[in-house]
Amino acid sequence: MPDFLLNALLAGLALALVAGPLGSFVVWRRMAYFGDTLSHAALLGVALGLLLDVSPTLTVTVGCVLLAVLLVTLQQRQPLASDTLLGILAHSTLSLGLVALSFMHDVRIDLMSYLFGDLLAVSPTDLAWIMGGSALVLAVLAWLWRPLLAITVHEELARVEGLPVAAIRLALMLLIAVVIAVAMKIVGVLLITSLLIIPAAAAQRHARTPEQMAVGASLLGLLAVCCGLALSWYQDTPAGPSIVVSAAALFLASFALPKRNS
């Protein structure tokens, strides 16, 4: 196997492994639009990285984390509905990033690779970022699994039981921010949320417990990565969109199986 294809495979598998359980919480808590907002803001992080001459992966990670904190703060203090606020921030940050990139005449970048991913161009450094970020998110998810389930099932009851609901909710949003930052290189800022949601939604139909859904989503994500890379390799299609198309095909295939009763 060529080195670039091996790097792409390892990066995709690492992301799929963590996207399963995290995407399950995105589906359970109906946070898809939040993920879209962070993914749109990632392009602004790319522009800042090029402007400051530092790694775009680092600036995207920091930018997504800061935006997650800003969203939590504004949701608690502003009179607007959450979806309205998310819509404003999502399109404003995406447009600001595009405008900032247009002023950098001396910088030549492949904008399509950031928008739609360039998995086959993952370098050893990128792979280290992706695997390190995925391992960190998995470790924190394992640590916070029970509290996250508690606030997802019944937030008020969790608050009565003494759980720090606001801090746990913020932790979940920060984990989503980290995954979106490290996933940008694979599927691009416009397709990241799809990789979080589609495998989890497919697994939800056939899972009896939250743990089964998380594991099933990870397995479906792993399969989507393998199928997408195979499609890209043999048919010369873009790798990131091919992975999302494979995930969508698996989601449709899940309807062919009888739904398990809880």
Q: For the segment 32-74, what is each residue's pLDDT rounded down to a tens digit?
A: 777 778 777 777 888 888 777 787 778 888 888 888 788 777 7
Q: What is the Cα–Cα distance from 29 to 22, expressed in whole angstroms?
A: 11
Contact 46, 240 (CB under 8 A): no
Taking 50 as the pLDDT cut, the residues of the chain under it are none
Q: What is the pLDDT of the chain when averaged over all its residues?
A: 84
At 107 the pLDDT is: 63
At 147 the pLDDT is: 92
At 224 the pLDDT is: 94
At 110 the pLDDT is: 63
At 99 the pLDDT is: 83
CA-CA-CA-CA torsion for 187, 13, 8, 3, nearest 10 degrees? 180
At 261 the pLDDT is: 58
Q: Residue 54 gets which letter from DSSP?
A: S
Domains of the chain: 1-190 (1.10.3470.10)
Contact 190, 39 (CB under 8 A): yes
Q: How far is CA 234 from the centre of its chain?
A: 26
Q: What is the Cα–Cα distance from 59 to 63, expressed in whole angstroms?
A: 6
At 140 the pLDDT is: 93
At 111 the pLDDT is: 65
Contact 117, 191 (CB under 8 A): yes
Q: What is the Cα–Cα distance from 108 to 110, expressed in whole angstroms?
A: 7
At 219 the pLDDT is: 95
- Token look-up 């950031």 returns 114
Describe the chain by its helix, strand, coil percentages, rounded to 5: 80, 0, 20
At 74 the pLDDT is: 77
Q: What is the Cα–Cα distance from 236 to 227, expressed in whole angstroms?
A: 13
Helices then strands, each counted (H, E), the chain: 11, 0
At 200 the pLDDT is: 93
Q: What are phi and psi of 185, to 5 degrees?
A: -70, -25
Q: What is the Cα–Cα distance from 50 to 56, expressed in whole angstroms?
A: 7
Q: How far is CA 35 from the centre of its chain?
A: 7
Amino acid at 58: L
